[in-house]
């Protein structure tokens, strides 16, 4: 275990007393959670021990299967166990996992959670005010959601902390177990078992970046031991009584110009939702479509031209919401055209987008006009969807769990107000 205590006074600044990579649990304890896959839910565990942790379903011992064994850069083993429906208890490594509820009413959304270490972009991973994902995770856990959606970008520690930088000294980096542990699993350790998850792939999880760790640990489809990273994750649908969650991998779909091949792939995936989903649909994809990271010189920037080509006239009319991250803001965009409301929850921990919060009404984004909504920058946090008699309420919380804004959602409509 490495300890890199940051409690020190430097140049008048009191640095955090949190160590760079303090495990939230004992070294031998596995990280355990449950997540939706294409054909049901799986319990998963990551352990640094040789064997998978003990598993128990309804009091009966059962062996977990190795999903990804230890290897060069990953001194850890990912284990998996399919969970049958109608079970009443699941324990992994002695930890009780919260089982799926029949109809989730309270759904947490979080995204873009890791600590940025890339070239000249250096975040103070040791300072919980400057990289607050551990607090964000604790605040989500305190609200006891039925389901947790991570909209992608878990892994941000790509290059070394510069020598002498106390803000990040001791930080791990690279697509390896230490960096994945420090960026996601350890700060989320206490949140992981408290509700089933839906994991969405971000562009930080493409194969050239954190893709190996993604495919080993979090991807819903099977791990390919030969390649070590699936170039794209197949789409899958989680059918729930109130809606279908359609998970789309947009990790490789570029924003500024149309990539015809990627547009064709996603177009087919959107078209397939006509038959693979039932009822209202929430599309879960890391990259938003007609959305912006902010406004420069009066013009919105950052919309996705490739996804716009794939989506226009293709997304089924039953798609009410697109849940994304990627832009490090909290954003709700309700359009003048009959399009799904875009929700962006990208403020979970990484550097926030610059610029001011603004009323997005009247923005024209790649030819699409925003009728109403929210665009908030400058605060870390997460969001919660709560089912009501009238539809859903979407609340934006800061990192401490204080409600900031709320939108009442019904079908594709969204009416938002500051709390
Ligand atoms: Fe992203």
Encode pLDDT of 202-226 as tens digits: 999 999 999 999 999 999 999 999 9
Q: Residue 11: CB partners within 8 Å, gap ≥ 6? A: none
Region 233-253 average pLDDT:
97
User: How many CA atoms, within 13 angstroms, populate the side-chain half-sphere of residue 297?
Assistant: 0
> Is residue 23 in a domain?
no
Q: Which domain holds residue 87?
A: 31-96
> Is residue 12 in a domain?
no
340 CA from centroid of ligand 1 (Å): 20
| Residue 117 pLDDT exceeds 60 | yes
206 CA from centroid of ligand 1 (Å): 10
Rg (CA), the chain: 20
175 CA from centroid of ligand 1 (Å): 16
203 CA from centroid of ligand 1 (Å): 5
> Is residue 155 in a domain?
yes
**C-alpha to C-alpha distance for 267 and 309, rounded to whole angstroms:** 8
325 CA from centroid of ligand 1 (Å): 7
316 CA from centroid of ligand 1 (Å): 25
- Kindly state whether residues 251 and 350 are assigned to the same domain: yes
Region 224-232 average pLDDT:
94
- Kindly state whether residues 322 and 222 are assigned to the same domain: yes
323 CA from centroid of ligand 1 (Å): 13
26 CA from centroid of ligand 1 (Å): 31
For 20-58, what is each residue's pLDDT tens digit? 444 555 567 999 999 999 889 999 999 999 899 999 999
- Kindly state whether residues 52 and 128 are assigned to the same domain: no
Share above pLDDT 70 across residues of the chain, in percent, rounded to a whole number: 94
Arithmetic mean of pLDDT over the chain? 92
- Kindly state whether residues 91 and 122 are assigned to the same domain: no
> Is residue 5 in a domain?
no
| Residue 356 pLDDT exceeds 90 | no
Region 307-332 average pLDDT:
96
Of 96, 121, 144, the one marking the end of a domain is 96
| Residue 301 pLDDT exceeds 90 | no
> Is residue 9 in a domain?
no
Give me the pLDDT at residue 355, please. 87
> Is residue 22 in a domain?
no
Q: How confident is the model at residue 326 (pLDDT cuts 50, 70, 90)?
A: very high
**C-alpha to C-alpha distance for 414 and 119, rounded to whole angstroms:** 39
- Kindly state whether residues 187 and 326 are assigned to the same domain: yes
For 378-395, what is each residue's pLDDT tens digit? 999 999 999 999 999 999
163 CA from centroid of ligand 1 (Å): 27
63 CA from centroid of ligand 1 (Å): 36
294 CA from centroid of ligand 1 (Å): 15
- Kindly state whether residues 69 and 163 are assigned to the same domain: no
352 CA from centroid of ligand 1 (Å): 12
Using the 8-state DSSP alphabet, how is residue 71 labeled? Answer: B
Phi and psi angles of residue 261, each rounded to the nearest 5 degrees, phi first: -70, -45
Give me the pLDDT at residue 186, please. 97
- Kindly state whether residues 302 and 400 are assigned to the same domain: yes
- Kindly state whether residues 184 and 49 are assigned to the same domain: no
Q: What CATH number does the domain containing 395 carry? A: 3.60.21.10
- Kindly state whether residues 91 and 117 are assigned to the same domain: no
Give me the pLDDT at residue 21, please. 46
| Residue 408 pLDDT exceeds 80 | yes
- Kindly state whether residues 309 and 230 are assigned to the same domain: yes
327 CA from centroid of ligand 1 (Å): 7
115 CA from centroid of ligand 1 (Å): 13
User: How many CA atoms, within 13 angstroms, populate the side-chain half-sphere of residue 141?
Assistant: 15
250 CA from centroid of ligand 1 (Å): 10
Buried-state track 297-321, b at ≥16 Cβ within 10 A, e below 16: eeebebbbbbbbbbbbebbbebbbb
> Is residue 89 in a domain?
yes
- DSSP string for 66-78: EEE--BTTB-SEE
| Residue 149 pLDDT exceeds 80 | yes
Give me the pLDDT at residue 17, please. 35
- Kindly state whether residues 82 and 176 are assigned to the same domain: no
Region 248-272 average pLDDT:
96
**C-alpha to C-alpha distance for 286 and 163, rounded to whole angstroms:** 33
Of 96, 123, 141, the one marking the end of a domain is 96
305 CA from centroid of ligand 1 (Å): 15
Q: What is the number of structural domains in the chain?
A: 2
- Kindly state whether residues 54 and 111 are assigned to the same domain: no
Of 43, 70, 96, the one marking the end of a domain is 96
28 CA from centroid of ligand 1 (Å): 32
Q: How confident is the model at residue 347 (pLDDT cuts 50, 70, 90)?
A: very high
Region 324-329 average pLDDT:
97
27 CA from centroid of ligand 1 (Å): 30
Q: Are 56 and 91 in contact (CB under 8 A)?
A: yes
Give me the pLDDT at residue 9, please. 25
> Is residue 19 in a domain?
no
Q: Residue 13: CB partners within 8 Å, gap ≥ 6? A: none
For 62-88, what is each residue's pLDDT tens digit? 999 999 999 999 999 999 999 999 999
268 CA from centroid of ligand 1 (Å): 22
């Amino acid at each position: 275990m490495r300890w890199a205590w940051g409690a020190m006074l430097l140049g008048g600044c009191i640095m955090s007393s949190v160590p760079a990579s303090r495990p939230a649990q004992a070294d031998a304890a596995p990280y355990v959670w449950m997540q939706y896959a294409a054909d049901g839910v799986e319990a998963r565990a990551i352990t640094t021990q040789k064997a998978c942790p003990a598993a128990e379903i309804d009091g009966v011992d059962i062996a977990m299967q190795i999903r990804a064994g230890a290897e060069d850069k990953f001194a850890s083993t990912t284990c998996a166990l399919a969970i049958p429906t109608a079970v009443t208890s699941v324990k992994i490594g002695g930890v009780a996992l919260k089982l799926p509820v029949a109809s989730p009413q309270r759904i947490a959304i979080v995204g873009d959670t890791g600590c940025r270490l890339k070239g000249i972009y250096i975040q103070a991973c040791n300072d919980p005010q400057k990289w607050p994902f551990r607090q964000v995770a604790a605040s989500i856990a305190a609200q006891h959601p039925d389901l947790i959606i991570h909209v992608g970008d878990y892994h941000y520690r790509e290059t070394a902390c510069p020598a002498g930088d106390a803000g990040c000294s001791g930080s791990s980096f690279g697509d390896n177990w230490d960096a994945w542990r420090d960026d996601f699993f350890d700060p989320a350790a206490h949140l992981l078992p408290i509700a089933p998850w839906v994991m969405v792939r971000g562009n930080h999880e493409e194969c050239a970046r954190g893709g190996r760790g993604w495919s080993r640990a979090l991807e819903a489809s099977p791990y390919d031991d030969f390649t070590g990273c699936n170039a794209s994750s197949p789409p899958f649908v989680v059918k729930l009584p109130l809606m279908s969650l359609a998970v789309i991998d947009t990790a490789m779909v570029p924003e500024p110009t149309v990539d015809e091949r990627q547009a064709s792939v996603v177009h087919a995936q959107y078209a397939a939702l006509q038959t693979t989903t039932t009822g209202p649909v929430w599309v879960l994809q890391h990259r938003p479509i007609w959305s912006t990271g902010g406004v420069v010189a009066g013009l919105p920037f950052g919309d996705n031209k490739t996804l716009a080509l794939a989506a226009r006239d293709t997304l089924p009319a039953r798609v009410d919401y697109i849940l994304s991250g990627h832009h490090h803001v909290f954003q709700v965009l309700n359009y003048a055209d009959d399009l799904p409301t875009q929700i962006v929850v990208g403020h979970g921990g990484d550097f926030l987008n610059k610029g001011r919060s603004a009323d997005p009404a009247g923005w024209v984004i790649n030819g699409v006009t925003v009728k109403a909504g929210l665009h908030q920058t400058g605060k870390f946090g997460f969001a919660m969807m709560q089912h009501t008699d009238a539809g859903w309420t979407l609340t934006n919380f800061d990192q401490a769990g204080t409600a900031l804004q709320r939108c009442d959602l019904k079908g594709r409509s969204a009416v938002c107000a500051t709390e």
